[in-house]
Structure formats: structure tokens, C-alpha cells
Structure 1
Amino acid sequence: RLLEAWGDIDVIVNNVGVSAFKPLEESSLEEWDDIMSINVRPVYITSRKLAIHRRNMGGESHYGRIINMASTRQSMSEAGTEAYSASKGAVDSLTHALMMSLAPLGITVNSVSPGWIETGDYDALSEADHSQHPSRRVGRVDDIARACIFIALPDNDFLNGENIVIDGGMTRKMIYI
């Protein structure tokens, strides 16, 4: 409907994700399938739809950006996060595969991997929550939005096939107990 109403889409942000964090032995194959289907399939569907649309427009190179939401859980996990972690790893892998397929159309494809981004009551977070991050705070939704705006800028066409981690430095932090 958007393509019919607007004629084209320049920027797509594939921001979808569900999880069911629970012990591996308690998770079901149906939950695995649901999480993979919800977290990965729409990225493929929207990207494919844009590719078909652009080819039907003549296939010439034209400004386009696809930004996929992955997660830091694709590279670091806790027990009970198997389906979510795998789905977000799939999103990152799909990102660089799509980059290769969509490059001739002028569409760049990148992913963003947020760490802990508080979407609820930020004021309810403790000092310990904030202080564990090298940036000394838990992330906010605006931190991710600003990265997406940057990626979407027309002049940023050399940023392609990358995953940008936005986690306050947590994945780079050495932790010894």
C-alpha cells in the first residue's frame, strides 16, 4: 500500500523482535519457529519487496537505505536466549547478503545492534545498572534513532553491509570475576 500511495520508499528500518527467554529444556520447537519467523522473515520480505519494486522501476541505481535491527545478543548471550540470539545473528548475516544483492540498485543495507536500551521507566534504573556500562549509563531509544538517521543520510552511501553496535561499550568491556 505504501508503494502504491507514495510511488517509492527510500528508507526502511526493519525493527522487529520478540523473545521468550527461558531455559533451553523448557523452550519448544514452536517457540523457536515463531521467534525466527517474527524476527527474520519480515526483514527478508520488506527487502525483497523493495528490490522487486526498484527492478520494476527500471533497475537503475537510486538512493535507498535498509537498516535492520540486530542485537548484541548475536555475539554475546546468557543462558535461555538461544532463539532470540540466533534470530538476531540471522538478521546480521542477512544484512550483508542483502547488501550484495541490492548494491546494483543503489540501496545500502546495514544493521544496528543495540545493547541494553531502556524502553520503559528510565528513572527506575539503579546506579548499578548505569555504572556497569563504560559510558556510565543505560541506553535510550534516541541513541538508536540517531544512528538510524545517520545511516539513512544520502551522503553515507559508503557505509554498506556493516553492523553498528550501540551498547555503551559493554561488548568491548573485559570482565573478570
Structure 2
Amino acid sequence: MAHDSELGWALGVVFRAWQRETEEAVGDLPHGPRGFQILSTLATGDPPTQASIAMHLGIDRTVLTYVLDDLAAAGLVERTADARDRRVRRLVLTASGRSRVEELRARVAAVEAGMFPGLTAEESASLRSLVERAAAGMHTGDGDHDACRVVQDILADAAG
């Protein structure tokens, strides 16, 4: 079966490999890779709301509540009231969560370093950069994006 021109197939193979390998690396964390993505996102800036983290990571808000409950029970995350609107909850890492996310990032980085055995280190870095740029270009938050246009723009930038 030739799949050399099927982007969806290729992305699926890479994603499933990433998910499988990452599950092994962070399997001791509540909700594995999903829990890692939440902790990693919380470590990058101002405390987000539950609604904004659900939208950013594409997690159903109801499911997110259960994941956050488990991360909070593990002492990694706290929900705090927003200073301007007490009905809104902001998410923050605990001291234990900040320490743990750094350990988990190292584990995931080791997994990702070995993700593309058929590529050179330079090619792997380039692929990662291009995929991250494509994702950032598509992740507008409003659902209005054209994946083909984003990829074309990236390729044009790389060529010129």
C-alpha cells in the first residue's frame, strides 16, 4: 500500500506514535499525555481560565473538569477565583506541579528526540518547526482557518 502522498495518513502515524511513546513516558501522571499537555500549558504564562484551556487544547469542558479534579487531587494544580469575577476559575500550578512539569518535559523531550529515526537531527528540527508554525497558523481560536493555505504560506516562506 503506497501512502507517500497522503498527508492525513502520515500525520496519523506520527501522532499515534507520539501518543504511544508519550503515554509510556508520562503514564504515572493522571490522564497521561492529556494531563501533561495541561500542566505544560499552565507553565507557560498567566493563569488561564478553565474555559480558555479547554478551547486551547480542544478538550470538552466537562471532560476537562474531571481531568483537573484528578490533577488537583494529585497536588499538581489549583483552581483559584479570578480577582475580577469570582465566578471564573483560573488554573495555577502548585509548587509540586511546577517541579513535576519540568521533569515530565524532559521525559517528553527525550521521546520527541527519537521520533523520526529516518531523518537527520536538522531535518527533525525543521519538521518540528514547520509543524509548530502550521499549528500556530491554524489555531486562531475562532475555527476559521484553511490548513492548505497555512502550509502553502510556510513552504513559500521556507523557499524564499
TM-score, length-scaled by structure 1: 0.25
Relative CO higher for 1 or 2, CA cutoff 8 Å, sep ≥ 6?
Answer: 1
Greater helix fraction, Structure 1 or Structure 2: 2
TM-score, length-scaled by structure 2: 0.26
